Structure 1
Amino acid sequence: MNKRTELPTVENSSNFNRVAGATCQVGTTLENLKAAVCGETGASAKYAACAKLAKEKGYEQLGRLWEATSAAEQVHIRLEAGLVEEIEPGYERPTADAPELEEIDLNLIASANGEIFETSDMYPGFIAKAQEEGNDKAVQVFTKAKLAEAVHAELYLQAYNNIDAADDDSYFLCPGCGYIEKGSAAPEKCPICGAPAKVFKQF
């Protein structure tokens, strides 16, 4: 993700349109926050399982990618569930069933497809509803997640194309928004939320 002179928002970005034929059901912002938490919980569990399988089969770098994205989804869960808990203090966070996995290459495609759905369908719909309701906190949280998911999808497709040509790069996770950068070092600051390099977690 190229660095911009200003952090991306709905107002200054051109990639917040919702895909034609969108299938995600949009409810109230509170309902959408709960749905997002549920979806991210399932994704985090699936990616953790994919990481374990990849390492068992000798794909160490792919395992680290899935570990990083699993942790990134936990960032989104924390942000989204936090807003739900402000409204419903007794809210119980959902759990996820054990995921069904396929071969490593197909798991990469499934992971990319899931992230593309979130960044092009689910989150744009949720952001529009939060704007309609004047819920600025939800707009900001959904925006961070939407932008990070697009990067995750890119990383999965890159990994798919290079499945038999791994390199020595690490993955660096921003704990503020779930952005992940592939390379030899964390970025000077997160291109999505501005968090400094020192807070990034290396995988």
Structure 2
Amino acid sequence: MNLRDVIPTAENSSNFNVVPEAITEVGTTLENLKAAVCGETGASAKYAACAVAAKEQGFDQIARLFEATSAAEQIHIGLEAGVIAEMEPGYERPAAPEAEGIATDLNLIAGALGEIYETSDMYPNFIKVAIDEGNKKAEMVFTRAKLAEAVHAELYMDAYNNIDAPTDEAYYLCPICGYIHKGDDFEKCPICFTPADKFRKF
């Protein structure tokens, strides 16, 4: 993801349209936040299981990618749950479901498909409702998650295409928005502008 002069938003970006024949069930912003937390909780658990499977199958770099994306989803969960708690004090997060990984190439494809769904269907729908309701905090949280998920999908496909030709590059996770960068050739997050020295290395 290339760095822009301004932090990307739904208002200044061209990739926030909802896909035709969207399948997301859209509710109020509060309902959408809860749905997002549930989805991200499942994704985080799944990616953690995929990391274990990749490690066992000898794909160390891919295992680190799955670990990074699992942690990224935890960031999204925290951001979304924080907005929910302001709207509904006493909210309790759902428990993570049981999950297991299968063949690593299939886990990468499934991960990419899930991230593409979130970035092209779920989050654009949720962002539209948040804008309509004037909920700026939810709009920002959804926007950052949407943009990060697109990069996660790209990284999964890169790992899939190069599964038998890995590099020794590390993955770096932005602690603010969940963006992940492959390699150390960057200065700051292209989504929220957090400096590179604040990133977590995998």
Is the structural similarity TM-score above 0.5?
A: yes
Q: Name the amino acid aligned to 1:135.
A: N
- Give the whole-Å Cα distance in 1 for the aligned partners of 2:90 and 2:14: 38
Query: Distance in 1 between the 2:116 and 2:54 partners?
Result: 22
CA distance in 2: counterparts of 1:117 and 1:28, whole angstroms: 20
The TM-score, its normalising length taken from structure 1, stands at 0.98
Shift of 1:164: 0.3
| 3-state secondary structure, aligned to 2:107 | helix
97-106 vs 73-82, which moves further: 97-106
On the 8 A contact 2:52/2:101 being kept in 1, the answer is no
Displacement of 1:46: 0.3
Question: 2:53 aligns to what?
Answer: 53
What per-residue deviation string (whole Å, max 9, x for no partner) do you get for residues 81-126 of structure 1? Answer: 0000111221110012212432110100000000000000000000
3-state SS of 1:42 partner: helix
Give the partner amino acid of 2:97.
D
Instruction: Output the amino acid matched with 1:200.
Output: F
* Larger CA deviation: 172-181 vs 82-91: 82-91
Aligned residues: 202
**One-letter amino acid of the counterpart of residue 86, structure 1:** E
Q: Shift of residue 187 of structure 1?
A: 2.3
> Does the CA contact (< 8 Å) of 1:130 and 1:139 recur in 2?
yes
- Could you tell me which residue of structure 1 aligns to residue 108 of structure 2? 108
In the alignment, structure 1 residue 196 sits paired with structure 2 residue 195: yes
* Aligned residue runs from structure 1 range 88-103, under 5 A: 88-103=88-103
Q: How far off is 1:186 after superposition?
A: 6.1
Q: CA-to-partner distance for each residue in 1:106-159, whole Å, 9 max, x for gaps?
A: 100000000000000000000000001010111000000000000000000000
Q: Distance in 2 between matches of 1:97 and 1:176?
A: 25
Correspondences of 1:14-25 after superposition (within 5 Å): 14-25=14-25
**Are the counterparts in 2 of residues 32 and 126 from structure 1 also a CA contact under 8 Å?**
yes
Secondary structure in 2 aligned to 1:181? Answer: strand
Conservation of the 8 A alpha-carbon contact between 1:186 and 1:200? no
| CA distance, structure 2, for counterparts of residue 78 and residue 65 of structure 1 | 20
Correspondence for 1:29: 29
Once the two structures are overlaid, the 10-residue window that deviates more, 47-56 or 97-106, is 97-106
Contact 1:72–1:173 (8 Å) recurs in 2: yes
Q: Deviations over 1:10-69 (max 9, x none)?
A: 111000000001001000000000000000000000000000110011100000000000
Contact kept? 2:83, 2:138, Cα under 8 Å: yes
Q: TM-score under structure 2 normalisation? A: 0.98
Counterpart contact for 2:48–2:66, Cα < 8 Å: yes
Hey, which bits of structure 1, 4+ residues long, moved more than 4 A? Answer: none
Alignment RMSD: 0.8
